[in-house]
Structure 1
C-alpha cells in the first residue's frame, strides 16, 4: 500500500536569509540576494563576473569555531539548515535506527580541495590539513548531518549536478515507501563561490555578466537574459510517513506526493531543446502522485536565466500541460537567489511547499520583457493561489542531462 509522505520541518540558509522563514519573507517581498563579491581575489584574477548570490549568513556566524573549522562551507550550510529543519519539526524523539539522511551536492567541498592544493604547492605536504579528505568528500554533508542529528538507518549522497537535491527528495520518498526509515532528513547544499568555478562557468558563457547591476542580472524568461548567477546555501526538509507524523502530533506543511528522475542522454551541458525527457519526469512524478496535468496549479520552474535552458524548459512544460499551461502560476525563484547548483532543488522545494501551505505563489523578479517565445503565466508579484486542494511541481535539471521533478500537494 502506498504511504502518504509529509513535510514536517524545513530549514534553509540562502542568499535571501539565514533561515527558511527569513528567505521566504524576502522572496515574497521581491528582494534580491545577489550582490557584488567583496573579495580581493576578484581583482587578483581579473574575473569577468564579479557578483553572485552569496549566503546572507555565513557558517562562522552560526557555528562554534571548533565545528566550522572542521567543515567545508558546503557542510556548514548543510548542518545549519538541517538543525533548523529538525527543530522546526519539533526535534522528534525517534529511534536513530529509524532516521535516515538523503543529502546531496553538485560539487562538494571545493573550497577545501583548492585550499589544500594551494597549501601543498606553497608550503609542502606536511602543512596539508589531516582533515582535508573528510572535509572535501561529497558525502561529507550527509555524514555531518547524520552525526549532529543521530541518523543510523542510512546516510546517502547523490551527485547529479543541479538536479541533485531534488533527486535526494525523490530518493527519500522511495526510502520512506520502502519502510527502511520512518523519518528522512533530505536536501542539498553548495558553496562554490570561488574564483575557479566562476572563471570556468564564465568561460562556458554560462554566467550573466551584468556587473553593473547584480540585483537584476538573473532574469528568467526575459528576452534579455544572458546567463545564470552563481549562488550558495542549503535547504533541508524533514520528511516522514503521515502515520508517523500524526502519531507524534507533528505540524504538517504539505505532502511530497511523488517524484521522478530521467536522463536526456543528449549533451554534457546543453539540455535537450525538445524537452522530452524533462517532460517524462514531470509526467512520471504526476503519475506517482495519482494526478494528471490538469490538476497542477503551480510550478516552481528550474528557470536558470540562460537563453537555451529557459526555452527548453518551456518546451517541456508545453509537452506536459498543453492547453492547461496558461492556467498554471509559474514562479522562477532563481531570479532572487541565484543558482545554488546542488542545493537549488531543496531550496525551491521549500519555496514550493510554502507556496501551497500559505496559498501564495512567490514572484519572479527582473522580468520586464518576457520572451515572446515563452508563453507562460509567470508570477511577477506575489499572487494568492485558489482555495481547495493544490498541486505543484518543482523542477530541477542539471549538466549531464539529469532531470528530477518533485510533486507536492497541499495538506490544509
Structure 2
C-alpha cells in the first residue's frame, strides 16, 4: 500500500472517567447504564446555580506519584494516566527507543517503536484553567513569591500533549488541537493522518479536560448551557428527552494508540479496530449555537464518506455528540438522516454523555474509546434518562435506550464517533472491525 494511504489501526486504549479509573471499568459502567454525576460537595458550590458535575471516579493522586502530580495541571494528570494505560495495553513498555538489558547499544527492544516515528496528539478544549485560576488566587492572597514556578508549563494548553510525548519518547511531532468540545476527536483525526501520510508509525492520541471549577461552572451556568437539575444529579443528563435542559460537566481523559497496520502486524500486536478516517467541517453560523438543520455536521459526514472507502451499509452504531441540549441533539440527528437517509434506520445510536457527563475537550477521546470497545465487543451502550423521547428524535433515529444492545455478530461492521464544539467545529471519526 502507498505510504500516503496506509491503513491505520487501534492497538491500545486507556481512560480515566467519572465511571472508572481505567478503560475496563469505564466500559463496564457504560454497558451497565451507570451515571457518574454527583452533587458537588465543595464549599464554593453552594452559591452556584449549577451544583452537580461528573468528577473522575479515581483521583489522580491515587495513581500518580505526588512529586510528579504536583507539577501537572489536573488535565495533564488525567492525560498521563490514560496514556500510560493505553501505551501498556498496546504492548509497549517504557520510553520508545530506551536501552534496556535486553536491547543493544543502539537502543530499543523487541516490539519497540522508533522514537522518530512516534507522535503524540492530545487535545484540551480549555487547558490548564484550574492552575491559572488557582495560582491567580495565590498571587492575590499570598503575594508574588508564593506563585508556583511550575505555573506556566502547567497551564499551557499543550501541557498534556507535551507530557504524554515525554512519557513515551515521541519525536515525530507532539500536537494540541484546540477546537472546543471537538478537540479530542480532532486530535485522533490528526493522528490518523500522521500515520496515513507517512509522518509516523505510531501515535498516542486523545483528549483530556479538567474544568470543574467555580468560574467555568458559573460561566456555563449563566449562559444557560448546563442542566440545573440539582435535585436529581444522576438523571440530569438526558439526551433526546423532551425535558432536557443542558449538559452536565464531566472531567477525565480518553487516549488510544494508533498504529499503521503494517507496523502492528510486524510486532504481532492485538488490534481492536481499524481507524477508517475523519470528516471535518465548520458551521460558519454562530460562536455557541449549532446550525439548527445540521448542515455543517452533514458536510463533515459527507467528507468522511468521500475521503474513505466506508460503506454506509457497514455503519451499525453511532456514539453521538448528544450533550442534552435542546438544539444540538436534534441537529445532529437531522444531519445523519440527511446524509444516510434510510440507512440511518439500522444505526444504533448511543449518547454516552448521559452517563459520563460532557468532558468538553476530553469527550472525543473518551467516546472514541467507547466506540472502539462497542465494535470490539459488538455491544452498543445505552442512553439513560430518556423517559419521554423527543418526537423529532424518534422520527429521525434509532436511539438505544435503557439497556445495552448487541450489534451484529458476523461480518465487518463500522461505527461513528461524532464531536462538535463552540465555534461551529464538526469532527466525525469512523472505526471498523478487522
Same fold (TM over 0.5): yes
Structure 2 Cα separation of the partners of residues 382 and 312 of structure 1: 24
Number of the residue aligned with 1:215: 234
Structure 1 Cα separation of the partners of residues 420 and 257 of structure 2: 23
Structure 2 Cα separation of the partners of residues 396 and 41 of structure 1: 31
TM-score by length of 2: 0.93
Structure 2 Cα separation of the partners of residues 245 and 127 of structure 1: 48
* Residue 426 of structure 2 is aligned to residue 403 of structure 1: yes
Deviation per CA, 1:57-102: give whole Å up to 9, x if none: 1111110010000000000000000000000001151121111001
Number of the residue aligned with 2:187: 168
* Residue 58 of structure 2 is aligned to residue 57 of structure 1: yes
Moved more, 292-301 or 375-384: 292-301
Structure 1 Cα separation of the partners of residues 430 and 174 of structure 2: 23
Number of the residue aligned with 1:8: 11
Number of the residue aligned with 1:284: 303
CA contact (8 A) 2:6 2:197 kept: no
Number of the residue aligned with 1:393: 416
The correspondence of residues 52-201 of structure 1 with structure 2, limited to 5 A, is: 52-91=53-92, 92-201=111-220
After the TM superposition, list the runs of 4 or more consecutive aligned residues in structure 1 that deviate by more than 6 angstroms. Answer: none
Say what the alpha-carbon RMSD is for the aligned residues: 0.9
Number of the residue aligned with 2:324: 305
CA contact (8 A) 1:258 1:286 kept: no
* Residue 336 of structure 2 is aligned to residue 333 of structure 1: no
CA contact (8 A) 1:296 1:393 kept: yes
Structure 1 Cα separation of the partners of residues 319 and 228 of structure 2: 25
Number of the residue aligned with 2:370: 351
Structure 2 Cα separation of the partners of residues 103 and 13 of structure 1: 14
Query: How far off is 1:287 after superposition?
Result: 2.8
* Residue 62 of structure 2 is aligned to residue 39 of structure 1: no
Number of the residue aligned with 2:100: none
Secondary structure of the corresponding residue to residue 12 of structure 1: strand
Query: Which segments of 5 or more consecutive residues in structure 1 lack a partner in the other structure?
Result: none
Moved more, 135-144 or 313-322: 313-322
CA contact (8 A) 1:283 1:293 kept: no
Deviation per CA, 1:275-311: give whole Å up to 9, x if none: 1111111121223331233331111100000001111
Number of the residue aligned with 2:27: 24
Structure 2 Cα separation of the partners of residues 301 and 29 of structure 1: 18
TM-score by length of 1: 0.98
Q: 1:378 aligns with which of 388, 391, 399?
A: 399
Structure 1 Cα separation of the partners of residues 258 and 310 of structure 2: 21
Secondary structure of the corresponding residue to residue 27 of structure 2: helix
Structure 1 Cα separation of the partners of residues 16 and 305 of structure 2: 29
Moved more, 286-295 or 124-133: 286-295
Query: Which segments of 5 or more consecutive residues in structure 2 lack a partner in the other structure?
Result: 93-110
CA contact (8 A) 1:8 1:250 kept: yes
CA contact (8 A) 1:54 1:232 kept: yes
The alignment covers a number of residue pairs equal to 409
CA contact (8 A) 1:13 1:23 kept: yes
Number of the residue aligned with 2:106: none
Structure 2 Cα separation of the partners of residues 98 and 325 of structure 1: 39
